[in-house]
Amino acid sequence: MPTISAGDKVLVSGANGFVATWVVRRFLEKGYAVRGTVRSADKGKFLEDLFQQYGERFEVVVVEDITKARILFEGAFDEAVKGVDAIAHTASPFYLNAVSHDELIGPAVNGTVGILRSAVKSGQNVKRIDVTSSCASVSEVGVDKVFSELDWNDLAVRDVWEQGDNAPGLSKYCASKTLAEKAAWEFYEKSRSDIKWDLSVLNPPFVFGPAIHDIKNPDALNTSARMWYETVLVDGKSKDFLTVQGLAYADVRDVAEAHVLALEKEAAGGERIIISAGESLYPAFPRLNTNRSLRFLLDVANALSPSPIPSHPSLPVGYPGVPWKAPVEYDTSKGARILGLKYRTKEELTRDTLADFEKRGW
């Protein structure tokens, strides 16, 4: 029996974000009512126009910016959670150039625990909450192994505690996701006797794909989408980072579908689930001979015919002479077993993303 079903109301936090806008759309397409939180009325107006065909099934509410640390104590989501049957918490800061680790860790932890507190206090109808975490809280950079939901990125947390603001930007981000997710699970376990809902956490890696949220130019893209853009269209501007790290990916539309399934599937309750299409990227190559960086994007983009982006007749090709470190692999069997999620191919992701850029004149 599904935890929720069509006709129920779902709260989506940070509803104007890259992933969240697709999450909202998918819930609406499946017959749910959606309440989305935004930081300003202007951001809400864009979403109201985007989803106007759904009429009263979609509404927006303004919630204070979660990058303000005091949100944890102010009950910012108390009103937003009233009357909803489930919550998809997608709002969390993601950028790799934070000066202070508090820019990321405080908001990530406080925003996540804050919405759980509000659900305890005011969410009498809530049956399940799913939280967007990240593979950044699962895998440790430079460790050559297959990571699963049993793993935690304690290395990044240790880097930040030892180096403080001098820690690498990637470590600060990974630590923020690790600590926020651990805080969510700790809060959930301590509150289980007082709540009627359960918790599910989704852990995607880098998320790519076409955008439907409000963006005016490539500089306004979220971090992962901007790296994708710069790798494929701006002469490999991000290639050093993307090549060295050895990254996995997921299509934003598949992540949105995972959010729906995580709230619907009874078996997803109490589970941490990796959402990554990376497992099927290189099935034809021996493990030790596999290029697990995102340089595959260039091969795929150049092979598409006809090109979905004719305004760019010449795309970057390859990364000659650029090394990469140990690969990162994820065991995605739990997601397949519990959610039954089917991933889009890298060709579909690349084609649709380039077509989106072409339509925007980028």
Dist CA 27 CA 18 (whole Å): 15
Q: What is the pLDDT of residue 104?
A: 61
Domain count, the chain: 1
Degrees, nearest 5: CA angle 109-221-9? 55
Q: Which two tokens stand for residue 89?
A: 């918490």
Report yes or no on 233 lying in a domain.
no
Report yes or no on 257 lying in a domain.
yes
Q: Which two tokens stand for residue 178?
A: 């690790």
Strand partners, 62: 38
Report yes or no on 235 lying in a domain.
no
Q: Which two tokens stand for residue 67?
A: 């990058």
Report yes or no on 262 lying in a domain.
yes
In CATH, what number is assigned to the domain containing residue 171?
3.40.50.720
Report yes or no on 58 lying in a domain.
yes
Report yes or no on 32 lying in a domain.
yes
Entry pTM: 0.89
Which of 169, 180, 209, 152 has its CA nearest to residue 23?
A: 209
Q: What is the pLDDT of residue 282?
A: 34
Cβ pair 98, 104 in contact under 8 A: yes
pLDDT by residue, tens only, the chain of 362 residues: 568 999 999 999 999 999 999 999 999 999 999 999 998 898 899 999 999 999 999 999 998 765 554 444 468 899 999 999 999 999 765 555 544 556 567 777 888 899 999 999 999 999 999 999 999 899 887 777 889 999 999 998 998 889 888 888 788 888 989 999 999 999 999 999 889 999 999 999 889 999 999 999 998 888 888 888 887 887 655 555 555 445 678 999 999 999 999 999 999 999 999 999 854 333 332 332 233 455 667 778 888 999 999 999 888 775 545 554 446 788 999 999 999 999 998 899 999 999 999 999 99
Hey, how many other C-beta atoms are within 10 angstroms of the C-beta on 88? Answer: 31
Q: Which two tokens stand for residue 240?
A: 């050093």
What are the residues whose beta carbons fall under 8 Å from the beta carbon of 220, sequence distance 6 or more? none
Helices 18-29 & 252-264, crossing angle to 10 degrees? 50
Domain region containing 334: 9-210+250-277+329-343
Report yes or no on 242 lying in a domain.
no
Report yes or no on 17 lying in a domain.
yes
Q: What is the pLDDT of residue 247?
A: 64
